[in-house]
Structure 1
Amino acid sequence: MWTAYLILTVLLLILTILPKIQHSHWIFRVPEFGKIQITVFILLTLLLGFITPDKSPYFWYFQALLFVMLIHHSVILVKYTPLYPVKKYTQKYQSSEKLHFISANVYQFNTEYDRFIKLVEKHRPEMFLTMESNGDWEKALRPLEKDYPYQHKVTLENTYGMHFYSKIEIEDSRTHYFVADDIPSIEAHLKTKDGFSFVFFGVHPPPPSPTEEETSKERDGDLLSTAKRVREIKKPVIVVGDFNNVAWSKSSILFRKTSHLIDPRIGRSFVSTFHAKYRLLRFPIDLMFHSEEIFIENLKTLENFGSDHLPVYCEFFIDHEQDEKQAERIDHATKDEKAEAEEMIEEGKRENGERDAVVTEG
């Protein structure tokens, strides 16, 4: 038992240290995703130590190390729980009507189209975004177009297709290819019937992983390019999608600071989405950020519809009178952080992602 305790302690120390090394290779970036699970294992290993027989003379040093790691991770994670104090705001007479959206990575090879259609029909959001949606998904979703007459479609067969459907009028929309010509982002300018304008951004950068991109350069460059574009927009903004990132990573924090947006998970919950089939190995990688004029009433995951991601459901309203109260939640990038963001954007553009035009499941 002592050997198992020692191996676990060393492994958890390595997984804690690796993300601190600012290298873009997936080996250093992937452990960021599992911070919740790592924290749980640290706690369990700490408790295991107390019941381990034949303890080493260095036992208390190892226990102290585990305790320090537990505090380190907990201080970061507690911000994304209801234990962290964040002021809540209520809808006022000058606010917009409540609006709702669903963001879902549908998984390109998932053919249970009807389950997703029924999910949309059940929750009836004013808008929804699909990622990994290819030609088959576009065709399958056509029955919804009568209720969602405004659309922006980017149909790709490389698992980076993206479709946006809305009941709210789209006044203008465009597709961005910030760092690669096969990784799109959608920018849609909408105006509600009660006269509130806002911008909806859909993003889906590639993940750093042993099976996809070797580094996080394209992901980070794409997200920070989006952040720069957001700063140019003088309307309320929502950025949502499969970020293939976690809110506490350095690049996510840099995105938040560069864009001057708010992370609604802070003071609320993790909203873990991937992997949909494995509850204990689920990471919060489908993120959203919003400007100070956007007020979140509800943010949660919905039921699984056959994808490897759970869909995200959000209820919000727009209020230009209360925005100054929420502006205190915005962090601003320092001069050095702005320079670092620019460097990461350029690195992302130079990176040559190895994606096939058409991807097959395998």
Structure 2
Amino acid sequence: MAVALAMPASVQPIGRVLARLDWRADLVTHFQVPALMASIVAAVALWTLGRSRWGAAAMAGLAVIQAAALVRYDLAAPPVAPAPEEKARLKVLSANVLASNREHERLIGLVERERPDVVAVLEFDLRWQGAMGPLRDVYPYWIEIPDGTRGIGLYSRVPIGDDPAPVVVRPLGDGNPALCVSIAFGDGRLNLWVVHPPSPLGPQGRGRGRAELMALAREIASRPGPTLVVGDLNRTEGSPIFADFLRATGLRDSRPGFGRQESWPSWLPMRLPIDHAFLGPELAVVDRRLGPEIGSDHLPMLVEVAPAADSAARISATQRSRSSGSP
């Protein structure tokens, strides 16, 4: 009986151990809330039934660890503060719009209300390209890659630089495209990446998902300067591969101090946080939240960044170094 009660609670932790070896094990790592519930039920049942007090204590300890991993985003303060006298801000709206979604006006209405500096559209197909006329009228700098569920659209109020030129990266040669642009920010520029690695549920994501994500991480890390990455990562922090990606890029999660922000699937009360924003040490998060439903299976994400308090001069210094050709 004790083993039977403990087994459901053990699935997700065992998945974390095996996640780097098998994509199926990685899948179960994302279900942290059900795992926590299973641990609580097992602890209460084992204690109440008197089957195993040691087992109940072990399940309770596991539940504490699992709960701490979930609430840390609400309880922790943002680790980096914005520079108090620096007025530069960049507000980005990232939305996986679902290629089959035809409620284009809901995204356009959200953009009109929020007035972000940059809009990143994922699953950008030809129909979405045709519907984005109102954005092209307001956002003078734009890049469109209509490619079905792999497509990306980017619309910016602030200039997109030619040095370095915008680049489309396909990890492993044939992976989902990722877009990088150098965008004006304060007295300098920052690297803005829009990413959408393949779903682990699809044929391309199975087996090679970690290799493709790590190839993308190496591309991101290879471009010097302040960096902001937004998009649908198709992974949660429950997976050790998520931590591998952050270590390889040298970036940090934008959520501490703003909550876990579960974004998919939008119609369920218990969702997974797979829409993300990551940033380098030169940047601080001013605001980070999810938007309303737009007809997609994802909720849109809004993130606003500013120069960090202890590195406000780095962005302009980096830009001056590039302009002068200094190493």
Report TM bin, short chain.
Answer: 0.7 to 0.9
Tell me how large the CA RMSD over aligned residues is.
2.5
> Which ranges in structure 1 are unaligned for 5 or more consecutive residues?
327-362
Give the 3 Å change call, closer, same or farther, for CA 215–44 of structure 1 in structure 2. same
Selected match of 1:82 from 74, 86, 89 = 74
Residue deviations 1:11-36, cap 9 Å, x none?
A: 22123212211444332011111113
CA contact (8 A) 2:283 2:307 kept: yes
Residues 1:322 and 2:310 are matched in the alignment: yes
Deviation of 1:75 after TM superposition, in Å, equals 4.0
Give the partner amino acid of 2:168.
T
Selected match of 2:198 from 206, 223, 227 = 206
Give the 3 Å change call, closer, same or farther, for CA 323–226 of structure 1 in structure 2. farther
Give the 3 Å change call, closer, same or farther, for CA 324–252 of structure 1 in structure 2. farther
Report the TM-score, using the length of structure 1 for normalisation: 0.78
CA contact (8 A) 1:112 1:305 kept: yes
Q: How many residues align?
A: 311
Alignment of 1:332-351 (within 5 A): none
Deviation of 1:121 after TM superposition, in Å, equals 0.9
> 1:21: which partner in 2?
18
Give the 3 Å change call, closer, same or farther, for CA 16–261 of structure 1 in structure 2. same
Deviation of 1:217 after TM superposition, in Å, equals 2.2
| SS state at 1:82 partner | helix
> Which ranges in structure 2 are unaligned for 5 or more consecutive residues?
315-327
> 2:323: which partner in 1?
none
Give the partner amino acid of 1:259.
T
> 2:318: which partner in 1?
none
Alignment of 1:48-67 (within 5 A): 48-49=45-46, 55=49, 58-67=51-60
Distance 2:310 2:175 in 1: 39
> 2:244: which partner in 1?
254
Distance 2:21 2:249 in 1: 21
CA contact (8 A) 2:82 2:306 kept: no
Distance 2:134 2:77 in 1: 43
Between 1:261-270 and 1:107-116, the stretch displaced more is 261-270
Give the 3 Å change call, closer, same or farther, for CA 273–127 of structure 1 in structure 2. same
Selected match of 2:183 from 187, 190, 194 = 190
Deviation of 1:324 after TM superposition, in Å, equals 8.6
Give the 3 Å change call, closer, same or farther, for CA 195–141 of structure 1 in structure 2. same
Give the 3 Å change call, closer, same or farther, for CA 302–85 of structure 1 in structure 2. closer
Residues 1:150 and 2:171 are matched in the alignment: no
Residues 1:310 and 2:299 are matched in the alignment: yes
Distance 2:158 2:151 in 1: 22
Deviation of 1:50 after TM superposition, in Å, equals 5.0
> 1:173: which partner in 2?
166
Distance 1:39 1:256 in 2: 24
Residues 1:296 and 2:285 are matched in the alignment: yes
CA contact (8 A) 1:25 1:208 kept: no
Alignment of 1:1-12 (within 5 A): 7-12=4-9
Selected match of 1:73 from 45, 49, 66 = 66
Distance 2:87 2:249 in 1: 23
Residues 1:244 and 2:237 are matched in the alignment: no
Between 1:181-190 and 1:19-28, the stretch displaced more is 19-28
Deviation of 1:222 after TM superposition, in Å, equals 2.9
Give the 3 Å change call, closer, same or farther, for CA 253–133 of structure 1 in structure 2. same
Give the 3 Å change call, closer, same or farther, for CA 189–267 of structure 1 in structure 2. same
Residues 1:229 and 2:222 are matched in the alignment: no
> 1:47: which partner in 2?
44
CA contact (8 A) 1:207 1:216 kept: no
Report the TM-score, using the length of structure 2 for normalisation: 0.86
Deviation of 1:252 after TM superposition, in Å, equals 1.7
Distance 2:222 2:80 in 1: 28
Give the 3 Å change call, closer, same or farther, for CA 189–245 of structure 1 in structure 2. same
> 2:321: which partner in 1?
none
> 1:348: which partner in 2?
none
Give the partner amino acid of 1:244.
N
Residues 1:285 and 2:282 are matched in the alignment: no
Give the partner amino acid of 2:193.
F
CA contact (8 A) 1:32 1:249 kept: yes
Residues 1:133 and 2:130 are matched in the alignment: no
CA contact (8 A) 2:120 2:154 kept: yes
Give the partner amino acid of 2:112.
E
Between 1:15-24 and 1:293-302, the stretch displaced more is 15-24
Give the 3 Å change call, closer, same or farther, for CA 310–169 of structure 1 in structure 2. same
Give the 3 Å change call, closer, same or farther, for CA 34–261 of structure 1 in structure 2. same
Selected match of 1:101 from 92, 115, 122 = 92
Give the partner amino acid of 1:169.
P
